[in-house]
Amino acid sequence: MQITFLGGCQAVGGSGIFVNAGESRILADYGIYMNRRNEPKFPLPPPEEVDAAFMTHAHLDHSGAFPKLYASDDFPLYLTPPTYDFINLLYDDMFRLQRFPFGKEEKRKTLKNSVPINYGENISLNHDCKVTFLNAGHIPGSYSLLIEAEGKRLLYTSDFNTIKTQLLEGANFGHLKLDALILESTYAHEIHPNRATTEKQFISTVNKTLQDGGTVLVPAFAVARSQEILCLLHKNLMDYPVTLDGMARGASRIMTQYPDYVRDYELLLKSLSSCHWVKDSRDRVNAIFSPGIIVSTAGMLQGGPIDHYVNLLAEEPNNAVLLVSFQVPGTPGRTLLETGQYPMGGKMSKVNSLVKYFNFSSHSDRTQLFNTIESLKHNSNPTVFLVHGEKTVCTTFREEVEEEFKLETFCPKNGEAFII
């Protein structure tokens, strides 16, 4: 079995992995990476023709470059039903940037070649390769990929989370016996705060803002984070109106169609039915003139209706902007966190409202990553490949894994190939 790393090495974004597994040539993920100038970068092209491709989840850093391949090729693309619907939504939004060498026809071909699969299922490729789909606990429909061929077993975690959240059950790989592990290392240097504590602090801040007569703005990712926040708000029986806006509305409609892909479907339905869905500009105006909560895209304050809300709420100190999604360096959200300023009226202006960040990450942190490796170590001694992490993070984490677990560990570069 040979693994070639096409993207997502020593960086976060643009994931892509090519595996020669017996007679099968497999592509796992093919995403985009957006640089500081908001320009897309793509993984390296697959070194050979692809027999089958696997989209582990809908986030564009894992899925966004697939249409580029379908401009000139056809091969089956295995994904879960929620992921199919999510990329249909996210691709259209991506195309609005008009910076991609593909468009609606390539999107149509991508969707046409899609093959639906579910957690726990497995498929056979060319009679000598078996692929199994495992719940990754990251977003609804996300999976980790187990590839078995030539007497070898490889697990590609993609993005994964092992703790239970309002929306999802956590991933569990401890029962597996592996020869190789491709492990995300996004937060290998960080320990996330206790989830229950974060939720309590978030609700406390929301309550205080509302009681002081302010409006709470929650910029959140459209897929999963918005719905998790709505579930949390509903579970705490907010007595104030909750408004939902932006692409999160479309993502929420999709999520309601897949009860088997969320942990508490009744809670999700109740949270979505109890909030007010923005229909027009009048609803947006009404949402800000009385104490209440607005959940809207974009999570990094980059596009969507969020600019409208920040501009109208920023001057009043009794309002609050509560960030619950990761803020990429260079985005308006990161700038707001670091400087307290936001682009308004063509210039950077001070935001007088309360600005706070709450860590609701859907990625495994340092403790979860170590626990995952330790559980796998009980059954086997896999070679470990660290991806989806910044260079310094991968390098130091590799040294720690080798020292702690005595496992051969690599931080591959884009274009490198390894034989298992």
The residue segments making up the domain with residue 260 are: 195-357
Pairwise CA distance, residues 83 & 290, whole Å: 37
Q: Tell me: do 182 and 33 sit in the same domain.
A: yes
Provide the CATH number for the domain around residue 220: 3.40.50.10890
Q: Tell me: do 178 and 219 sit in the same domain.
A: no
At which of 329, 357, 385 does a domain end?
357
Q: Tell me: do 345 and 383 sit in the same domain.
A: no
Q: Tell me: do 74 and 214 sit in the same domain.
A: no
Q: Tell me: do 335 and 403 sit in the same domain.
A: no
Task: Give the pLDDT confidence score for residue 39 in this predicted structure.
Answer: 81
Q: Tell me: do 214 and 346 sit in the same domain.
A: yes
Pairwise CA distance, residues 134 & 193, whole Å: 26
Q: Which two tokens stand for residue 97?
A: 């940037």
pLDDT in tens, the chain (420 residues): 999 999 999 999 999 999 999 999 999 999 999 776 778 899 999 999 999 999 999 999 999 999 999 999 999 999 999 999 999 999 999 888 777 889 999 999 999 999 999 999 999 998 889 999 999 999 999 999 999 999 999 999 999 999 999 999 999 998 899 999 999 999 999 999 999 999 999 999 999 999 999 999 999 999 999 999 999 999 997 789 999 999 999 999 999 999 999 999 999 999 999 999 999 999 999 999 889 999 999 999 988 899 999 999 999 999 999 999 999 888 899 999 999 999 888 899 999 999 999 999 999 999 999 999 999 999 899 999 999 999 999 999 999 999 999 999 999 999 999 999
Q: Tell me: do 405 and 345 sit in the same domain.
A: no
Task: Give the pLDDT confidence score for residue 303 in this predicted structure.
Answer: 85
Q: Tell me: do 208 and 326 sit in the same domain.
A: yes
Could you tell me the pTM of the whole model?
Answer: 0.96
413: left (phi over 0), alpha (psi -120 to 50) or beta: beta
Q: Tell me: do 352 and 366 sit in the same domain.
A: no
Q: Tell me: do 343 and 394 sit in the same domain.
A: no
Provide the CATH number for the domain around residue 388: 3.60.15.10
At which of 332, 357, 382 does a domain end?
357
Q: Tell me: do 280 and 203 sit in the same domain.
A: yes
Q: Tell me: do 20 and 168 sit in the same domain.
A: yes
The number of domains in the chain is 2
